[in-house]
Chain A
Amino acid sequence: GAVVSQHPSRVICKSGTSVKIECRSLDFQATTMFWYRQFPKQSLMLMATSNEGSKATYEQGVEKDKFLINHASLTLSTLTVTSAHPEDSSFYICSARFGSYNSPLHFGNGTRLTVT
């Protein structure tokens, strides 16, 4: 079945550095991918919609310059957390849709980011 792969699963970085997280659709093409953020014991909050070949669409309150999204191919979207701070520490999850707009989303395994 359709699989979404996310890498890395865990990353620790120092404050002020940038971190890139990759989201790949392994056996299907995804024109749209989604990035979510999940705080401990909280729900998933949509950060942005990643569109292949065009700019990402960010949700209200999400800093575009802070969370850079690049969807350069039909199978890869990347989220770069720039100048990371401890408050950026969180669990980031990507998802992609295989098929038409009303088909289910498939989620990656998530990335645990810790900023020290």
Chain B
Amino acid sequence: AQTVTQSQPEMSVQEAETVTLSCTYDTSESDYYLFWYKQPPSRQMILVIRQEAYKQQNATENRFSVNFQKAAKSFSLKISDSQLGDAAMYFCAYSLGGSEKLVFGKGTKLTVNP
């Protein structure tokens, strides 16, 4: 079974600084997708960034980028120039290619200090 592990229950960062959230996953498949979702206090799940496993290039979305290490099965999220609005729970997630199911990690609570 596929599993997603987030080893950092909580992280904090100063406003305008950079923070990296860790995620590892376990799968024997070659075709899959990885995601980072943000869940602010409103509880709305918001897609931050997505990575296709077949792509070697790391995905980026403005201040958000990932470090995808396929051999190591690692998928970390880097948030640059952190803003107060970035404070939220961040969930790493995996889905098998062709499947619509998402498997989530346990989440990392990010605090942004002014």
Residues on A facing B (Cβ under 8 Å): 32, 34, 42-46, 49, 91, 93, 95, 97, 101-102, 104-105, 107, 109-110
Contacts and interface: CB of A to CB of B under 8 A. Distances in A.
Contacts of B104: 43-45
B47 interface: yes
A104 B50 CA distance: 8
Contact of A109 (B33, B44, B100): B44
B44 to A, nearest CB: 5
Nearest to B37: A107
Contacts, number: 47
A43 B105 contact: yes
B102 interface: yes
Interface of B: 33, 35, 42-47, 50, 52, 91, 97-107
Contacts of B97: 102
* 7 closest Cβ pairs, A-B complex: A107-B45, A43-B104, A110-B43, A43-B106, A44-B104, A104-B47, A109-B44
Contacts of A97: 100
